[in-house]
Structure 1
Amino acid sequence: MVGVEAVGVSASGGVVPWVLSARSGEALRAQAERLAVFVSERGVDVAGVGFSLLTSRAVFEHRAVVAGSDLDALVARLGEVAAAPSRAVPEDGAGRGPVFVFPGQGAQWVGG
């Protein structure tokens, strides 16, 4: 069985990522709010939660990652996701298209 340390999540401190995804922006915000309430009501292992979110959840179109070194920081960041406004890009994908970069003399790159 793959352990928490095997995927780079430290159980003994450091920054832990919590990965969220949902089918819509509204669902993502609701998921962040529900997770914040759930973990706030219980004493959870932040590395264990991060591992579970990373390895056992489906990946959908709308995603967010919060990172923190303790439960309070992670809950605060989940609150920020829950309160975030909708994206400027419509959820139906309208307005998205290919992007082309024409490398040349490097002027399009910072410091180029």
Structure 2
Amino acid sequence: DGHRPRRAGVSSFGVSGTNAHVILEEAPVRPASHATADSPAPAVVPWVLAGGSAAALRAQAARLLGAVADLPPADVGFSLATTRTALDHRAVVVGASREALVEGLSAVAEGRSAAGVVEGVAGEPGRIAFVFPGQGSQWQGMALELLDSSPVFAARMAECGEALSAFTDWSLDDALHGRVDVERVDVIQPLLFAVMVSLAAVWEDWGIRPSAV
């Protein structure tokens, strides 16, 4: 482990004469996450559960009850949402504290209703429509966090900015950061258009395709 990436050459010789030669290089070091032990916990955490039947859903909730005693609620929520299969019988437990989440989880395990618990059975997906609001839905600072966190959103906003530049004497970046009066009709209409088009790009990147807009 020195001052340059480690590399290895690999040669694979097939009996049929098909040979492969590859140079492997270690991945670049990723910057450390901004999250630390001192980072504030989210105000509300969802725990998402799913099972192939109502009984399986209850059983999963019961098993989870015995495993979450010493785990950070946000970590449990992240793992449930990103590593579990979304089966048809579903429940979501929402809480602002470990106690509230455990109480909701107990309710799911016992088959009773409780505050912060929603249950349902997934049906066949229906048709999807993207509905965009008009003028009046804007607020100062809108879209800035998404602009920083979503490459897809940022790329589409850049495309919109380039397309609009021939018709405006201001930039989307200036409008979003409050350097232009967004209450001007000639500003807010193109700005909202760009934000909505970029939001649609994010949804489509997640696999959501509209039947109507």
Same fold (TM over 0.5): yes
Contact map agreement 1:11 1:47 (CA 8 A) in 2: no
Contact 1:15 1:68 in 2 (8 A): yes
Does the C-alpha gap of structure 1 residues 18 and 56 become closer, same or farther in structure 2, counting only changes over 3 Å?
A: same
- Match of residue 16, structure 1, among 18, 21, 45: 45
TM-score by length of 1: 0.62
Please show how residues 23-102 of structure 1 align to structure 2 within 5 Å. 23-40=52-69, 43-84=70-111
Runs of 4+ in 1 over 3 A off after TM superposition: none
- Deviations 1:5-58 (CA, angstroms, capped at 9, x unpaired): 8xxxx9614110000001010000010011012113xx1110011001001111
Whose radius of gyration is greater, 1 or 2?
A: 2
Q: Please name the residue that 1:101 is paired with.
A: none
SS at structure 1 position matched to 2:66: helix
TM-score, scaled to structure 2: 0.34
User: 8 Å contact 1:28–1:63 — kept in the other structure?
Assistant: yes
AA partner of residue 50 (structure 2): S
Identity of aligned residues (%): 47
* C-alpha distance after superposition, 1:41-83 (max 9, x if no partner): xx11100110010011111010000011121111110010011
Aligned residues: 79
Greater shift in the superposed pair: 69-78 or 57-66: 69-78
Once residues 70 and 45 of structure 1 are traced to their aligned partners in structure 2, the CA distance between those partners, rounded to angstroms, is: 10
Pairwise CA RMSD: 2.5
Aligned counterparts of 2:88 and 2:66: Cα–Cα separation in 1: 24
In structure 2, the partner of 1:102 is: none
1 CA distance for matches of 2:51 and 2:98? 22
Alpha-carbon distance in 2 for matches of 1:11, 1:45: 12
Counterpart Cα distance in 1 of 2:86 and 2:62 = 18
- Aligned letter for 1:23? G
